[in-house]
Amino acid sequence: MLPTYNMIKFSSEMKKIRNESGFTIDYVAFTTHISHTAIKSLEKGNTIPKIETLLSLSNFYGRDLIELLNTCKESYQILDFYKLLNQYMANDDKILLKKTAKEVSDFLETEDLKHVDYKKLIQLKMLFRGLELSSTCSAQTPKLIEEALTLLTEALKVSNANFSIDNFQQFKYFSVEYNILFSISSLLGLRRQCKESNQILLHILNYFTSLSNQDSYYRSFTIKCLYMIAYNYHRVNEHDKALEYADRGINFCLENETFQSLTLLLARKSTALFYLGNKDWKIYRTQTLSLLEIQKRNDLKIKYDSIFEKLNENQK
């Protein structure tokens, strides 16, 4: 997640330095052991150079090319898009999602994109479009689910060309790619491919729990994974497993002193206990509704009140 650079300016300076030194590309390549293609691509502004490449060339030319690259910084727009993506994933803010999707699309329409990682922008555009579609999906919209899955799968193929849902464990992922994986798992759950969905969620969860330092973004993602795993087990009537992961999520919230998604996890625990025939389900129903009232989330309170009322009627 690097800032964007004016690679036209940087490449022009690189070519000027080489010409003033009186060297050919072949000579520079031979001496530095950097490929002819890499140097040519760098002088055309087609790529952002790796640090090791800049260090080798800096030693060769006797110039600080890392500092030169820093003088060509344009903006932190791509980084800002990543931050907005993480904010949406943490809070499910659909207004923010729509706004950011448009900003990414508009940014792609600008004329001076040679100074950015174009593939990253394409991946972001596909991801945000996939997220927009996902936000309107339900079990009753199979064609929409398929369209969103296709977009998100293609977004992952930008960085992992051979990616497929079946072989997802073969690849290493970065932060934005975990967002894509999570979105894919959510859609698979809607399509009742709960086993496949949970395999992806557990893969993500294992990665996050392996991190020595979890910031608020990783903590929120961990909670969402635990909730979704519990929900998938509910979908396939494995209520003991749903209870297990709901409890793990609740404990994680309490340990990290966060209310984020706690109400959803309490509701999931209440539902699991109901189906397991445990009368304590009403305790967690009350906790869910009380917490929603404190948070002034009236729409969600009405929704869960209706769900719990149906459960109560079924018990009579």
pLDDT (tens digit per residue) in 83-109: 888 888 877 788 888 888 888 888 877
pLDDT at 1 (0 to 100): 39
pLDDT (tens digit per residue) in 132-186: 999 999 989 999 999 999 999 999 999 889 999 999 999 988 888 999 999 999 9
Helical ranges in the chain per DSSP H: 7-21, 25-32, 36-43, 51-61, 65-70, 77-91, 94-108, 118-134, 142-157, 175-190, 194-210, 216-235, 239-255, 262-275, 281-294, 298-315
Q: Which CATH number fits domain 4-75: 3.20.20.70, 1.10.260.40, 2.60.120.380, 3.40.640.10?
A: 1.10.260.40
Domain boundaries defined on the chain: 4-75, 76-191
pLDDT (tens digit per residue) in 184-202: 999 999 999 999 999 999 9
Rounded to two decimals, the pTM is 0.75
Place of tokens 């305790």: 283
The Cβ-side half-sphere exposure at 28, using a 13 Å CA radius, reads: 28
Radius of gyration (C-alpha) of the chain in whole angstroms: 25
pLDDT (tens digit per residue) in 252-267: 999 988 887 899 999 9
